[in-house]
Structure 1
């Protein structure tokens, strides 16, 4: 059963949540706020519950719609295949999704009671996003593009900073927007191998609507925008100059983009570049985090 739960939760991808929380916590510390270990732990648990819930709902709904039987799975896309191999575990997946969502709601309400109600302004839409992503949002191309980034960038990274610091800052918004662009790109590229299968169940994400090659251009623009925001934030003094350390991620970009355009319409050859994209989504914010540590408390 534990193996099934890990598969449905997509445990190997939960590291992205830890990166978001670590970045928010480091930014809060760098801004001069005192970190409470217990508060940080609770924020991490609530955030992991959110990620597990959206993954489990995705696994359950894609199994029920039949999509999981149509996709050509890669290590980075097409779901885990857990319920295809063990269909009797579908109710367990649904219970995990609902249980994680209830844990998220309970933790969020506790935090709002202990601190203040304002983070609920992003917490409540976050809950709606978790449930609605697979069933509804995938049918709206622009919303489908932005929703993952909003979830991890605005709701998770910015929300964690808000709870840990007790207020918002320009630097927190900058980091949230950078994570938003990176994670939106992560899901965008992961949709490339699933275009034909997703069409059959009524999805309408960007690679379906405008094609893979044009979607590769969108990917490039969003990635360029993330670096532009980083540099402008440093010039404006919102981030310390040490944050330029994040530019050490550019060699990954230099490897990824040519391959993406070369194989945009050959998804069976895209797997190495999907892996590079996952790596970039971790390395970029971790280098940014290292830069904030290097700068020290303001």
Structure 2
């Protein structure tokens, strides 16, 4: 093999690792982590810029680790070959296109975990043993998600929401401030519920393939129509929770505009409630717009909550 072909092969493997990390979706992690950071600023806590940078980097690495390990597992189990990918589900296609990158993807996932643990160790030293609660919970969710959590329906439903909600929001808040306050607790339900809804919706196209691969998430247990209805309830519940904490005065008045997104959220819920069994098979013309709307609702909600909360700092 010539030097040029070796370099090309290495480059393709690196590109496969990057693709398997799903970069377009990694924006979710810093949006959630920044909720905790901004809540600390609103509370008047002095926050070091270096700590903010490490929190954001750690959140990105943790999210990338889940994606990489999930891609490696799904390729090895044959699940990638059994699914019809959508822009939001069914894998990135990196490993089927470059099978030789599989060990690299696994190594990259483990490296991301190692770097995340190192950042966690820094905050453990800086903010005390309480960081172990957040770091330990996050590590469990990352390591056990693909192999174990996806076989337990209720845990699988809640795991992503718990990871991006209580673990990431409250963990980042403690990491930069060394305490928890009502602001951080008040913003936690929104990512918890919205991210759980996002995962559930993204599982809808892959129910049959996931069942054959041995997974047992809630979309499999409930069936596609009932799972879609549950996703609608989760989306609306996120805004009910936000409206409740706003009415109680637990968040600054600047966060009220986030409730304007209730209009598209209601539209999304209606779209989910109108889905029928035929929409999940070979004809996905009605399902894909709903999946797109779900991603847009999650990202727009968290971004606007971040900005409006920061405006009140």
Q: TM-score, normalised by structure 1?
A: 0.96
1:188 aligns with 2:205: no
Structure 1: segments with no counterpart, 5+ residues: none
Distance 2:181 2:69 in 1: 33
Counterpart contact for 1:26–1:289, Cα < 8 Å: yes
1:35-92: CA deviations, max 9, x gaps? 2111101111111110011110100000111100001100001110110111111000
Displacement of 1:264? 4.5
Displacement of 1:285? 1.6
Matches within 5 A, 1:16-55: 16-55=28-67
1:14 aligns with 2:26: yes
Matching residue of 2:3:
none
Distance 1:23 1:123 in 2: 17
Task: Please state whether the residue corresponding to 1:60 is helix, strand or coil.
Answer: helix
Matching residue of 1:58:
70
Evaluate the alpha carbon distance shift between residue 264 and residue 43 of structure 1 in structure 2; reply closer, same or farther with a 3 A threshold.
farther
Distance 1:258 1:225 in 2: 14
Counterpart contact for 2:232–2:273, Cα < 8 Å: no
CA RMSD of superposed structures (Å): 1.3
Matching residue of 1:167:
179
1:139 aligns with 2:156: no
Matching residue of 2:302:
285
Task: Please state whether the residue corresponding to 1:191 is helix, strand or coil.
Answer: helix
* 1:226 pairs with one of 225, 238, 241: 238
Distance 2:276 2:217 in 1: 15
Distance 2:119 2:311 in 1: 32
Distance 2:57 2:243 in 1: 32
Structure 2: segments with no counterpart, 5+ residues: 1-10
Displacement of 1:22? 2.3
Matching residue of 2:83:
71
Larger radius of gyration: 2
Distance 2:34 2:122 in 1: 21
Counterpart contact for 2:219–2:227, Cα < 8 Å: yes
Name whichever of 148-157 and 255-264 sits farther off: 255-264
Counterpart contact for 2:190–2:241, Cα < 8 Å: yes
Counterpart contact for 1:57–1:94, Cα < 8 Å: yes
1:208 aligns with 2:209: no
Counterpart contact for 2:232–2:270, Cα < 8 Å: no
Q: TM-score, normalised by structure 2?
A: 0.91
- Number of residues of Structure 1 aligned to a counterpart in Structure 2: 296
